[in-house]
Structure 1
């Protein structure tokens, strides 16, 4: 189903401003259907926040689906603006304690700046005052018996309490706010035990300070409390940084388009217009150093274009007559005149933005499992802490609170809930830098089980244009005739003619006519008629070995054209074989062409002349035999077989972006990204298992110590925060 990127006409202003919705909304079911909008959400601290936000939005009329990825703080909302104004959506989020902004570059950046500034201040206050409290607590730890006067000891305790107040009121505020939201929504997220542990520790320490001889004993834990808060905020700072880097990568693509374009008019004049005013078929001139405002084909000029923003390749790419250019890339030298093919939201750059938004707004299946485990785990922890506190109350009342607090702190499921999103988000960002954009994060897990890679030929393993293999003539100088053929080819748009174009001057030809299915015909300066095209049309006695011919009368040039493998095809396929994968070539082309490509790339298993139905039947047969298949195709002719494969990767740019039917899009067109993706998927699975195993082992090791009273709150706080830092930093290894 086509994706309409413009808002439906006639959208009532009371429902939402159509121009406001356009930059961050698509209409997948057509102009009269529902809208899918992307938002950035502020105030998310844990996985349980996702459920709270989703539940609140689903309760609103007109909302059909809401999906929040807490790792990237993105919300994908499927809703009907005709039933629910945008202001009510934002108000609904605010009512449950979260702020949101449409995912448009400027307000999103402002939201991130505010969130980052506030997080930094909270971390600074907690870290600075933690050091002061630790300094006040040190004498009590190092002084010998009778060396610390009671009045000085009490003064240091009071100083610690005073310095802990700002930490509790300001730095720890997100934990209390998050716990309140979770409890109010009926969720037991990780903020609940954190807030409970912090609150109980502070209350118990305050009671011991005010009444040293009371039931709470005389031990205070302000040093443990402030250190715990500071370390946990530090872990969240790392997570926040990873989330912001992913958003900034999105904006780098979204903001790559120029603010104006030079459109050429039919009367020879030009005008500066906004990119939104361009239409398919317009001609634009792009000066050196300017960005392309739309996707198109080069009509005149040649030079080097930097496509690093879209492909990740820093080396500039040569562009000449007939070559495609994409919006957002930079013209390095010399003016180029471009025929516009795709504009606005249909351009490659905006398609990439939509794909990345879709991937980052999705909640991976593993993430949902971790959410459910964390919820049950939290309930068990609360009961365990209560039981531990009651048991120690009968054994040694003065230590009951400390043991219960240690259990609450040490079993906080922060590491558990950070394990999956940190790994998935880091891996998807690493693949994006390699030119492979995931539209379904679960494809990484499925990619680990793939045993067979099936390639389409044309536009996948081969370059998207033909190459001249050899030429020969009958009745003339072959090289001289080839020079003439190249000149005439510049006037044709046929793919066979484009294989000859080398930037030669096409002037001197008159009465140019292009006949569909035959070729192009023109007169030279002497008035002689020449033809370039099908051999049987050019000559009455065609050479059967030729695919293209050029001639006039008895003079004829015969040319053999063939597809060339992509530059990195040999290396990529060798790497896939090295990873233990079986390779297959499945093409609808003629057997001779497929056999030549298979031989060039050393592919043993190949099928030629396959229709879409045949391709699908072959794929089903392989799957029935137990093969897990990764299908790599052009995303247009291979739609049925792509849809049926276990993992689907579409090549190239253009229509595939609008459909977003595949699990991933290879925008760089570099096949080496495929073995890199397989390797990274396997590493991601290992890292995810390491993270989950660490969280489980940490709790199994520390809970008995806490229950036995052998783990003070300080050690519990250090261990809990360290475990959160471990899973985040361990996931960051995937970025390399």
Structure 2
């Protein structure tokens, strides 16, 4: 860890020290939640060992380990236990850990990846040499292979197997030792037993063919088994590392520096951490935004793909919001900083992804317990089979016991759920939907009704001009004048009207609170833009905005503005209805506005003028009738009704990311991600069931064969490694 600046108070120094990988959900006085990446994990039993090692430390409240993502979420009080003691406890348990900050985490992954690849290469290369040595014994006719040459081939196979046992198979033996020392039975125990017994028995057959173990050797089966199992783990490791790299891509989205404008107009280069709300920064074409903020001047296209999953650049102009981590494609901007550091959208996304990857849904815990019990049964079954065959045919006892140990290893069972959930959460993140709770994927498959909020959810958070008209005047010419005057106002209606117009040519501009904006043109004529009754004493009742001059006898332009439905709102509603679900709209807006938007997006059941309490009552009534509701809202005034729903999705806007209690955040604001999420959740459930069914059927089919002595260790090794490969590769289909 880097040194801290001198002179800081202890509490502030600790906070700065831990800030890159730690949050304080309950405030500075509460427990901290720190994120770590862990190296050396191979199965669910490792998670239990790590959790037990760190929870024994003073000041540690809870430790949550996700074996699939190799991540540790530590709930602790740093003032009571230094970080160095946490890392030392993990190291004493046999694992290397690093705070989840990009650089050291990348170095740890590179080291882990290189080591895994080297182990796989050694096992695979020597497997081919051992098979070459073993081939003559398989193909030679009786009498063709002399005893001396046969013995030489056996000794050569033994020598070639030694590096596989010492180097390639090392993780299995070290993992088994850690699990046994912690009083747990993970999948490394039967694997290590099978490898060890096979090697000992084969070595005995090489150097004492007439002895206890007979003369059959299984070095070819042993090396192939190790190579195939290492291949499965290498593929699993790659999937885990890709998920971590996606997280780091967002975490590293902020530029290394920002150009801050001083009050005198000069520019200084500062690090993003030095920015404060209210600062003004300049962003040139090709540069990234260092903080969340609002555009003061400039217009152009901004790429937000890293944060929202939307590959197409988004048009931005004066008054629009921008998020840290997005990149200016072709425009130059001056931005007022609104949120910095941990409060930015990018860092909110990072925290949510860390939270989701550190979780283990309830189904994972059940599978972990099943796998632990299954491992105990496997060991007893192998021991019983070995003793039975020792009584029936001693020369085959070791081979049968090894085959049972290998073929029943619960690798596929322990990988089935984590591989599927982790892959699915990454696929959703690429679509702009970030899961805060992995269990929401399970609940999403159970939903049978959808309820939307209106403003900020089905509609954009800005208005658009819907209709304009004038009596006895050129409405289009008046509209151009109205747009130019609207540039001088910050009111939402004026912003919707301005639309990038040129505001030059106006004199003595002044804004009247609650009324509108007033100015003189070059001829001295006074024009007003604002409330219809302020512009014209006898307003048109259909108008929401007016522009005119000359009082009662002057020309007046009447306008109506309405909320703009999101571009894909109608398509998303149609896709959800195609699932057979009723789609409803609840809004606190005026019934006429709600009815208009509902008709535009294809929703028949709607309710306007709804209060938070009436929304809550409506959702409770639907759920009391047996419906499981998916609620989609902006997460601000919809918090009570969101909390009541079966699945809760909030639109991902600004600082909401840091405090929302929703199950997921739609940071892309693309509503089509919702039906896509439903489809992916169902596909994930199918993949999970396929993985579990495969693991069960594989064991049901192969265990009797192994017990009967019809499945040699070579075939058992191929089958077990292939089952692990199957569940990992099957889960990768969710990335499509």
8 A Cα contact 1:57 1:92, kept in partner: yes
Q: Deviations over 1:142-182 (max 9, x none)?
A: 11111111111111111111111110111111111111111
Residue 381 of structure 1 is matched in structure 2 by 378
Assess if the C-alpha contact under 8 Å between 2:452 and 2:632 holds in 1: yes
Match of 1:207 in 2: 204
2:427 counterpart of 1:430: yes
Deviation, structure 1 residue 59? 0.8
Between the two proteins, the alignment pairs up a number of residues equal to: 728
38, 51, 59: which one aligns with 2:56: 59
The whole-number CA distance in structure 2 between the counterparts of 1:494 and 1:674 is 32
Partner of residue 612, structure 2: 612
**Structure 1 position 220 matched with structure 2 position 217:** yes
Which residue of 2 is the match for residue 501 of structure 1? Answer: 498
Conserved in 1, the CA contact under 8 Å of 2:190 and 2:409? yes
Instruction: Give the alignment partner of residue 277 of structure 2, picking from 276, 280, 296.
Output: 280
Shift of 1:301: 1.3
Separation (CA, whole Å) in 2 of partners of 1:95 and 1:533: 71
Structure 1 residue 144 corresponds to structure 2 residue 141: yes
Report the Cα distance in structure 2 between the residues aligned to 1:650 and 1:549, rounded to whole angstroms. Answer: 35
2:360 is matched with which residue? Answer: 363
Q: CA deviation at 1:431?
A: 0.8
SS at match of 1:704: helix
Equivalent in 32, 36, 40 of residue 37 of structure 2: 40
SS of aligned partner of 2:111: helix
Change in 2 beyond 3 A, CA 1:719/1:611: same
Is 1:297–1:340's contact at 8 Å kept on the other side of the alignment?
yes
Aligned equivalents of 2:51 and 2:724: distance in 1? Answer: 25
Q: Please list, as runs of the form range in 1=range in 2, the aligned pairs for 1:326-405 lying within 5 A after superposition.
A: 326-405=323-402
Decide which moves more: 274-283 or 607-616.
274-283
- For 2:341 and 2:21, locate their aligned partners in 1 and report how far apart those are by CA, in whole Å: 13
User: 1:637 aligned to 2:615?
Assistant: no
Equivalent position to 1:18, from 1, 6, 15: 15
Deviation at 1:556, TM superposition (A): 2.5
Asked if residue 700 in structure 1 is aligned to residue 697 in structure 2, the reply is no
**Does the Cα contact within 8 Å between 1:321 and 1:501 map onto a contact in 2?**
no
Structure 1 CA distance for aligned equivalents of residues 265 and 10 of structure 2: 41
State the Cα deviation string for residues 86-118 of structure 1 (Å, max 9, x = none). Answer: 001101110100011111111110000000000
Q: What secondary structure, in the 3-state scheme, does the structure 2 residue paired with 1:531 have?
A: strand
Q: Which of 525, 529, 547 is the equivalent residue of 1:532?
A: 529
For 2:384 and 2:531, locate their aligned partners in 1 and report how far apart those are by CA, in whole Å.
Answer: 87
CA drift of 1:510 comes to 4.2
| Deviation readout 1:627-672 (Å, 9 max, x if unpaired) | 0111111111111111111111111321320113111111111111
In the alignment, which residue of structure 2 is the partner of 1:555? Answer: 555
What is the match of residue 713 of structure 1? 713
Q: Deviations over 1:174-227 (max 9, x none)?
A: 111111111111111111111111111111111111211112111111111110
Look up the match of 2:303. Answer: 306
Secondary structure of 1:440's match? Answer: coil
The 3-state SS of whatever aligns with 2:260 is strand
The offset of 1:511, in angstroms, is 4.1
Establish whether residue 589 from structure 1 lines up as the match of residue 586 from structure 2.
no
Please state how far the C-alpha of 1:18 moved relative to its aligned partner: 3.1
Once the 2 structures are TM-superposed, how far is the Cα of residue 716 of structure 1 from its aligned partner?
A: 0.3
Contact 1:16 1:86 in 2 (8 A): no
Answer with 572-581 or 84-93: which moved more. 572-581
Check conservation: 2:379, 2:405, Cα contact below 8 A: yes
Map of 1:6 onto structure 2: none
- Correspondence for 1:289: 286
- Aligned counterparts of 1:297 and 1:523: Cα–Cα separation in 2: 29
- Partner of residue 260, structure 2: 263
- Please identify, of 692-701 and 544-553, the stretch whose mean Cα deviation from structure 2 is larger: 544-553
Distance in 2, matches of 1:579 and 1:608, equals 25
Distance 1:182 1:515, change over 3 A: farther
CA–CA distance in 1 between the matches of 2:633 and 2:615? 12
Note if contact 2:225-2:721 (Cα within 8 Å) is conserved in structure 1. yes
2:89 to 75, 84, 92: 92
2:497 counterpart SS class: coil
Matched with 2:599 is 599
Question: How many angstroms does 1:475 deviate by?
Answer: 6.3
Q: For residues 451 and 591 of structure 1, what CA distance do their matches in structure 2 show?
A: 26
| CA displacement 1:444-502 (0-9 Å, x = unmatched) | 11000100011111111112211100112356432232222212222222211111122
Question: In 2, Cα distance between the equivalents of 1:11 and 1:713?
Answer: 63
State the alpha-carbon separation in 2 of the partners of residues 546 and 478 from structure 1. 14
Q: TM-score, normalised by structure 2?
A: 0.97
**Aligned with 2:69: secondary structure?**
coil
The alpha-carbon deviation at position 282 of structure 1 amounts to 1.5
What are the Cα deviations for residues 226-284 of structure 1, in whole angstroms up to 9, with x where unaligned?
10000000000100000111111111111111111111122221211111111112111
How much has 1:10 moved relative to structure 2? 7.0
Q: Are the aligned partners of 2:344 and 2:655 in contact in 1 as well (CA < 8 Å)?
A: no
| Partners of 1:93 and 1:521 in 2: CA distance | 68
Contact kept in structure 2, 1:636 and 1:655, CA below 8 Å: no
Q: Is the 8 A contact 1:426 1:735 kept in 2?
A: yes
Alignment partners' CA distance in 1, 2:36 and 2:532? 57
Q: Distance in 1 between matches of 2:477 and 2:669?
A: 35
Deviation at 1:19, TM superposition (A): 2.5
**What is the rounded CA distance, in whole Å, between the counterparts of 1:258 and 1:705 in structure 2?**
60
Cα shift at 1:572: 1.3
Alignment correspondent of 1:5: none
Contact 1:465–1:499 under 8 Å retained in 2: yes
| Greater Cα offset, 536-545 or 705-714 | 536-545
Structure-2 residue corresponding to 1:415: 412
Deviation at 1:391, TM superposition (A): 0.8
Between the aligned partners of 2:564 and 2:259, the Cα distance in structure 1 is 36
Unaligned runs of 5+ in 1: 1-8
Match for residue 124 of structure 2 among 114, 123, 127: 127
Distance 2:212 2:270 in 1: 77
* Superimposed CA distance per residue, residues 40-84 of structure 1 (whole angstroms, 9 cap, x where no aligned partner): 111111111111111111111111111111111111111100101
How far did residue 539 of structure 1 move?
Answer: 2.6
Distance 1:391 1:344 in 2: 66
SS across alignment from 2:97: strand
Cα distance in structure 2, aligned partners of 1:491 and 1:76:
50
Q: Give the drift of 1:11.
A: 6.3
How far residue 322 of structure 1 moved from its aligned partner, in angstroms, is: 1.3
Q: Which moved more, 1:534-543 or 1:155-164?
A: 534-543
Which residue of the partner structure matches residue 180 of structure 2? 183
| Pairing 1:641-680 to 2, within 5 Å after superposition | 641-680=641-680
Report the TM-score, using the length of structure 1 for normalisation: 0.97
1:690-735 Cα deviation digits (max 9, x unpaired): 0001001100110001111111100000000000000000011110
Flag the 1:11–1:663 CA change in 2: closer, same or farther, 3 A.
farther
CA shift, 1:16, in A, is 7.3
Which residue of 2 is the match for residue 3 of structure 1? Answer: none
What residue number does 2:684 align with?
Answer: 684
Counterpart Cα distance in 1 of 2:343 and 2:470: 45
CA spacing shift, 1:585–1:10, aligned 2, 3 Å: farther
CA distance in 2, matches of 1:413, 1:660: 38
User: Whole-Å Cα distance in 2 between the matches of residues 515 and 196 of structure 1?
Assistant: 83
Whole-Å Cα distance in 2 between the matches of residues 408 and 303 of structure 1? 64
Cα RMSD of the aligned pairs, angstroms, is: 1.6
For 2:446 and 2:365, how far apart are their aligned partners in 1? 20
Superposition deviation, residue 526 in structure 1: 4.3
**After superposition, what is the alpha-carbon deviation per residue over 1:15-34, rounded to whole angstroms, capped at 9, x for unaligned?**
97432211111111112211
Contact residue 345 and residue 655 of structure 2 kept, 8 A: no
